[in-house]
Chains A and B, each alone.
Chain A
Amino acid sequence: DTAVSQTPKYLVTQMGNDKSIKCEQNLGHDTMYWYKQDSKKFLKIMFSYNNKELIINETVPNRFSPKSPDKAHLNLHINSLELGDSAVYFCASSAGEGSGELFFGEGSRLTVL
């Protein structure tokens, strides 16, 4: 059983489209995150949720909208995709907001044409 799973693993889409990435963790963790890894491998935090509550929003354009229906799930919806959104998006979880290491999903590679 994969601890943190993301779908889809690959997304190729046209500029202007809307897409979603789903994430689920079966670790019983309270906190979930979205990170963006750009083409230079730089990892930047986007959002963090603790028990379904948004606690970090790192000045991400409002075209990005996270949703956490329950503490085991954190989805990312992106509207009006732009070329610069091409990246690998990682979902991660941790036992608590201030504790433990991050457990990462496998990443979702988004390519915007």
Chain B
Amino acid sequence: AQKITQTQPGMFVQEKEAVTLDCTYDTSDPSYGLFWYKQPSSGEMIFLIYQGSYDQQNATEGRYSLNFQKARKSANLVISASQLGDSAMYFCAMREGYTGGFKTIFGAGTRLFVKA
């Protein structure tokens, strides 16, 4: 079963506008972590933002914020004031416990295109 779902294969946004990338997750573990990573066309994976399941406040890092709706099991990434350099693949990920330890699993990704 899909544990991390990113329903938007591709998104377009105008430069300087805000954009929301959707992510829903499924877990029965009460303790988990949610992450967003960016993968530009050059291929490297860049960590953007983290939200713990017990964190009361939504995480923010510069122009990135995570809209955490625990009851809905959603962890959407909001990018404010989009820049051309934001064009990339964006992956939502979840770290959860399992028998034997923890693992981080990824969604299928959303490709973001920022238009000038």
Contact = CB atoms under 8 A, between A and B. Distances in A.
Interface of A: 33, 40-45, 48, 50, 55-56, 58, 88, 90, 92, 94, 97-98, 101-104, 106-107
B104 to A, nearest CB: 6
A56 B100 contact: yes
**4 closest residue pairs by CB, A with B:** A104-B45, A43-B106, A98-B102, A101-B47
B47 A48 contact: no
For the complex, would chain B's binding face be called helix, strand, loop or mixed by DSSP majority? strand
Given A41-B108, A42-B108, A55 B100 contact: yes
B84 interface: no
B68 interface: no
For the complex, would chain A's binding face be called helix, strand, loop or mixed by DSSP majority? strand
B30 interface: no
A44 B35 CA distance: 15
B91 A88 contact: no
Contacts of B95: 98
A97 B33 CA distance: 12
A48 B95 CA distance: 13
Nearest to B105: A45
Contacts of B103: 45, 48, 56, 58
B82 to A, nearest CB: 21
A28 B56 CA distance: 30
A42 to B, nearest CB: 6
B43 A43 contact: no
A102 B106 CA distance: 12
B104 A45 contact: yes
A48 B44 contact: no
